[in-house]
Chain A
């Protein structure tokens, strides 16, 4: 469970101090799917970075299962990321020289998993995203959607507690976007993940249990208190996405 208390993140831009996140209080339950929307530069990615332990708050506490990520030293924070948090990026961020399987395998390297076990888990992860037959392909030999599937497999192969996805469909066409969201939703449901997904797309946001918007560094819940109250077992049924003009 994430518990954010009075979280503020300030950035220094020249002489100006820019607040990216201001006084944020938020609880994200285990197994919850939270969608985060908002305009560019209003703090969505900063929130995701704080949740992923990639950045530290200027004020307040970001706690994952009671562990304050803001005060954790670099080595244990890195270990926590390696073990418990999966990332999915808008631009996929695959290592271009490594095959799909090797990219997925990269997530198991810091865990010290043995070679045979790594192979088994990589095969299973690629199979779960429907790319078992593309294991030896380089990213450049895969379509955008396939690359994002590899990235999702990389995020899931270590069986993390949390997946943080930063606009995972931002670089994809509409059909592929639907495929990827359906995949994420399926995996979220099957594995009981905590999924925090940043998106501009209201159609995607509506499929989440809960959705909120970052507006000038402040977070407002827009929907889905039902989901939060009901827990992961009471999730909305999957269906076609309906793009909306915005909030």
Chain B
């Protein structure tokens, strides 16, 4: 009681100085909290990016190795591949050595261009690994549709070369709806795919694609010359370039091909959930051993591949922000210590008198430390307030962050020139735009309070060290 009365009176008496020290600590811890909040916001944004790429609940993905890029005009086409050849009678569509006139024809091919296929049995093998909770296969495919004008390639024809219509199609393992890219999507209309759809020609369409192609629930789309009925429209958390359509995995396997080979009993992506977060690294290593030729990616390794402003913001928060906040914090601690020392210096007579009348040094030190901690708590409160204000400013002025993940090399699309020549066009990177929003967590607030109190304690410790060494006779004679 007396302790608190004394403490309160001293703080009130030295209000201005207490406020200066508290403000110094507040700026320091406030900046630390802002940096942590910004960093958490960036991490959250990265997490959103990763979940949009991975799907919620996926810890590890396994993808087939990237196919080698074909060299234009070199070597025979792979078995089963469709090629366009120009000749005197016009353009020809050729497959397995058989050719027919391209004019008026439509090529519709669902293929795996990003990754080489992985045997479906690998999914079961991965699922059986000790630290794996669940594994689901998926097919990440592209449907390319080209329709040739009826007079295409004929002498005197003015038809422009056909422009391909391409869209992404993901084959979804309906036995594991909580894994894979569809798991993070929100249903806008209709429904999602369900296990009874395994062999049905039904599709769920991304809302952006649905809008641009005027699709809605009940509409039909053609995938590899097969008509699919749209049963739902979904949105993903961030704008970006998600797959345009989701179809049952079994249907994707039946229709898809890679390098002219059917994808039956194949996948090109395996989505894996580890038994616990601590097991992710182990799982990655186990899978890398099990499937040595394939690419094993974790959220953290994927995060390191991300470029763009989200990555720049993360680097800024981690590097500049961290050092700046440490610098300000140290400066605040030093200023607080010096001011507290100066304050104690002015109270030498007071402490000398208290020692003379029988106060133990420990009690006086506790009194000074109590005052410093109280100032620290005030600093923490102001600092947290400053942090909330800073975060509000960040949220108000921060632009959307873009995160770009380079797709696996080897994703190419063959376009056809008027003379029948081929060229390779790499597919665009996967770019996701995420809102930058700093997040103040309870942990950050606790850290602010602890830091401010630590600052107060540090400042008080120097002063206490001085008081501890103070002999009452010195203190009293200094006054006399």
State yes or no: do A and B come from one complex: yes
Point out residues on A near B: beta carbons under 8 Å: 45, 49, 52, 54-55, 75, 78-79, 81-83, 86-87, 89-91, 93, 95-98, 102, 105-107, 109-111, 115, 154-155, 158
B10 lies within 8 A of A93 (CB): no
Asked if B323 lies at the interface with its beta carbon under 8 angstroms from chain A, I say no
- Residues of A contacting B360 with CB < 8 Å? 75, 78, 110
> What CA separation (Å) do A75 and B9 show in the bound complex?
28
State how many angstroms separate the Cβ of A84 from the closest Cβ of chain B. Answer: 9
- Residues of A contacting B471 with CB < 8 Å? 54-55
List the B residue with the shortest CB-CB distance to A84: B358
- Residues of B contacting A105 with CB < 8 Å? 2
> What CA separation (Å) do A93 and B10 show in the bound complex?
16
Q: Which of B5, B13, B355, B358 contacts A96 (CB 8 A)?
A: B13
- Residues of A contacting B5 with CB < 8 Å? 98, 102
Stretch at the interface among B190-198, B309-317, B472-480: B472-480
Q: List 28 A-B contacts (CB under 8 A).
A: A45-B480, A49-B476, A54-B471, A54-B472, A75-B360, A78-B359, A81-B356, A81-B357, A82-B359, A86-B357, A89-B353, A91-B349, A91-B479, A93-B352, A93-B479, A96-B13, A97-B6, A97-B9, A98-B5, A98-B6, A98-B9, A102-B2, A102-B6, A106-B357, A109-B359, A110-B360, A115-B1, A158-B358
- Residues of B contacting A107 with CB < 8 Å? 357-358
- Residues of A contacting B479 with CB < 8 Å? 91, 93
A78 lies within 8 A of B480 (CB): no
State how many angstroms separate the Cβ of B362 from the closest Cβ of chain A. Answer: 9
- Residues of A contacting B94 with CB < 8 Å? none
Q: Which of B10, B356, B359, B480 contacts A97 (CB 8 A)?
A: B10
> What CA separation (Å) do A55 and B477 show in the bound complex?
11
Point out residues on B near A: beta carbons under 8 Å: 1-2, 5-6, 9-10, 12-13, 349-350, 352-360, 363, 471-473, 476-477, 479-480
State how many angstroms separate the Cβ of A27 from the closest Cβ of chain B. Answer: 23
> What CA separation (Å) do A55 and B473 show in the bound complex?
6
> What CA separation (Å) do A95 and B471 show in the bound complex?
18
- Residues of A contacting B349 with CB < 8 Å? 91, 93
> What CA separation (Å) do A54 and B5 show in the bound complex?
27
> What CA separation (Å) do A75 and B359 show in the bound complex?
10
> What CA separation (Å) do A215 and B352 show in the bound complex?
27
B10 lies within 8 A of A78 (CB): no
> What CA separation (Å) do A194 and B479 show in the bound complex?
26
B10 lies within 8 A of A49 (CB): no
A87 lies within 8 A of B356 (CB): yes
Q: Which of B12, B355, B357, B476 contacts A154 (CB 8 A)?
A: B357
> What CA separation (Å) do A61 and B71 show in the bound complex?
105
State how many angstroms separate the Cβ of B129 from the closest Cβ of chain A. Answer: 65
B358 lies within 8 A of A52 (CB): no
Most chain A C-beta atoms within 10 Å of own C-beta, residue among B359, B472, B476:
B476
A54 lies within 8 A of B350 (CB): no
With A54-B473, A97-B13 known as contacts, the answer to whether A82 contacts B358 (CB < 8 A) is: yes
> What CA separation (Å) do A102 and B6 show in the bound complex?
9
> What CA separation (Å) do A96 and B14 show in the bound complex?
11
> What CA separation (Å) do A244 and B357 show in the bound complex?
33
- Residues of A contacting B356 with CB < 8 Å? 52, 54, 81, 87
> What CA separation (Å) do A154 and B357 show in the bound complex?
9
State how many angstroms separate the Cβ of A137 from the closest Cβ of chain B. Answer: 13
> What CA separation (Å) do A196 and B447 show in the bound complex?
55
> What CA separation (Å) do A67 and B355 show in the bound complex?
20
List the B residue with the shortest CB-CB distance to A90: B480
Most chain A C-beta atoms within 10 Å of own C-beta, residue among B12, B358, B363:
B358
Please name 4 further chain A to chain B contacts, defined as beta carbons within 8 Å, in addition to the given A54-B472, A91-B349, sorted by A numbering: A95-B353, A109-B359, A110-B360, A115-B1
